[in-house]
Structure 1
């Protein structure tokens, strides 16, 4: 009898784990907490191009993963704009691969990164400077540790933004934090290429954008919880 009860409990647990592990879906708890899917695992619904109403044709969905044609695609971004939010997503790159997720992106300038700060995505074996390693606020705040999984495996990232205060999480580890409204942030910007673009990190809301850096990269489980 005890063995049967234990077996039933294990079966229930396995069913629960399977339900929570389904890619590109929301659990009942996530829905109750205000989470929304930005990627449904089947289509590009809800996405557009930078300064174009439709996403570049090079972006496709394969086996529940979103990714660009590295040779032809331009950046993709959400049709909606967001101010304060918690964003979660899974990503993987090929060897020496590079990409990024920008936030509060506007259509000022000629590139998404000229207005939107970037959560850096990269294979750290590429050998980039520490402020350009995975989990960094690209070019400005280095990750406190290398929390990446082996290249080719999916990593789980979270970006939390309230007011000007941001946190970057990578595989359950908080790897960066900053305040976009602080003197320290402005000083860092003034010492980098971003000083050339007055629109950089200036908007209080904007699009979420995914970068095509010319390398294979795949995304899934892209979801957001507005905190406004």
Structure 2
């Protein structure tokens, strides 16, 4: 009797939830019988309908294939179930496009990743044929465990305004803010393959449905444990403001900055146009032009994020724990440095020790490499592309992140760090890198380098 009462009580409690789910204005994207409403773009991998599923099969000697909806969608909630052969990866395109003027019709846009490899980035967001990884699950290890290999997986995608959130089997994976593309088709990818081992492997999709109305009533509250990654230009999101972020550069003026060796901002050599802060090329030497610039404020425990873009052969850096008073002579102000460099074309990449002067490195001390995924190359997006830098300093522990992958970690109060300093160009600066606080610096090294979206939050 008691069990029956509890069962009825549970049903009454769940009734509003069940009613809301039934009333949700879902539209089916797939009729379960044929590919009406879909078209294939780019590659020639075959797609077929079988037992209420869309099945794509890998085939050699063809580029990435995409089965795309004929309709386009802007704001929506999308759900689907997917199964993938463990030997291959795949994904679902959202807000994607194919236009003749862009790489002869190459499908491009946001992709919700399907990654059965040991990297486990399923549910992350990749910008297909455009900017590469926007939300790798290196920033959300909990999300990496959501995918179930060799089984059906349920995916939910909420693309509303400039936010794109994803869930895999009920676990949030990505929390992206980006405003590059607001509308496009949905596309099912069969990835290009090489060799015989991955030939004739299948990806299966079913229960594809989309909602385009009454989204606010059905959107899911984002998990506070999942970090938000924003690519808005010189703009903070509501979440960032709540979490204590502030713009370190306002996108227009020199407010909050001055020359490292002067009391005001350099009158020339640094430009601010269209939301981009640029150091212009001079002679390629260290601080012989307009000079470095530093923040007026000093920082100790902080998280710093910015985007940088280099020109061919360029050299620059982001320094922290900077004390401008230490070096009044020639050269750059003294502090720990996140190196910015064209590794292929600048000679400094071959100097130092074991590559410790390459992009992302702790300059002249530690070499940047993909720490959590040693089989991957360092995630630099190249000359002329915007790269994402992140520096985290907390109670002496420091991390460098390049395009949201950790490439450096160290304890600036450790004996190991002091030993590295003793064999570096900083050996003559007493207590280098161990000062309690310091300025943030953007370096003039005589080459053209661009910066934007510079923001920081201080931590206790």
Aligned-partner Cα distance in 2 for 1:8–1:199: 53
Name stretches of at least 5 consecutive residues in structure 1 with no aligned partner.
none
Query: How many equivalent residue pairs?
Result: 227
Distance change in 2, residues 1:62/1:196 (3 Å): same
Name stretches of at least 5 consecutive residues in structure 2 with no aligned partner.
1-24, 29-70, 78-94, 96-157, 163-177, 181-229, 283-288, 371-377
Aligned-partner Cα distance in 1 for 2:450–2:261: 23
Q: Which residue of 2 is the match for residue 54 of structure 1?
A: 264
Aligned-partner Cα distance in 2 for 1:55–1:220: 17
Whether contact under 8 Å (1:48, 1:55) holds in the other structure is yes
- SS across alignment from 1:131: coil
Q: After superposition, what is the alpha-carbon deviation per residue over 1:140-172, rounded to whole angstroms, capped at 9, x for unaligned? A: 010114211021101001000012110000011
Q: Which residue of 1 is the match for residue 337 of structure 2?
A: 118
Query: Which of 271, 275, 281 does residue 70 from structure 1 map onto?
Result: 281
Aligned-partner Cα distance in 1 for 2:236–2:253: 16
Q: State yes or no: 1:15 paired with 2:161.
A: yes
Q: Which residue of 2 is the match for residue 135 of structure 1?
A: 360
Whether contact under 8 Å (1:49, 1:55) holds in the other structure is yes
Distance change in 2, residues 1:7/1:86 (3 Å): closer
TM-score w.r.t. structure 1 length? 0.91
Whether contact under 8 Å (1:44, 1:55) holds in the other structure is yes
Whether contact under 8 Å (1:105, 1:113) holds in the other structure is no
Shift of 1:44: 1.1
Higher relative CO (Cα under 8 Å, sequence separation at least 6) belongs to 1
Instruction: Tell which structure's C-alpha radius of gyration is larger.
Output: 2
Q: Which has the higher helix share?
A: 1
Deviates most, 191-200 or 130-139: 191-200
Distance change in 2, residues 1:85/1:112 (3 Å): farther
Q: Which residue of 2 is the match for residue 150 of structure 1?
A: 382
Poorly superposed stretches of 4+, deviation over 4 Å: 111-114
Aligned-partner Cα distance in 2 for 1:113–1:188: 20
Whether contact under 8 Å (1:117, 1:138) holds in the other structure is yes
Q: Which has the higher strand share?
A: 2
Shift of 1:7: 5.7
Superposition RMSD in Å = 2.2
Q: Which residue of 2 is the match for residue 190 of structure 1?
A: 422
- SS across alignment from 2:427: helix
Q: Which residue of 2 is the match for residue 215 of structure 1?
A: 447
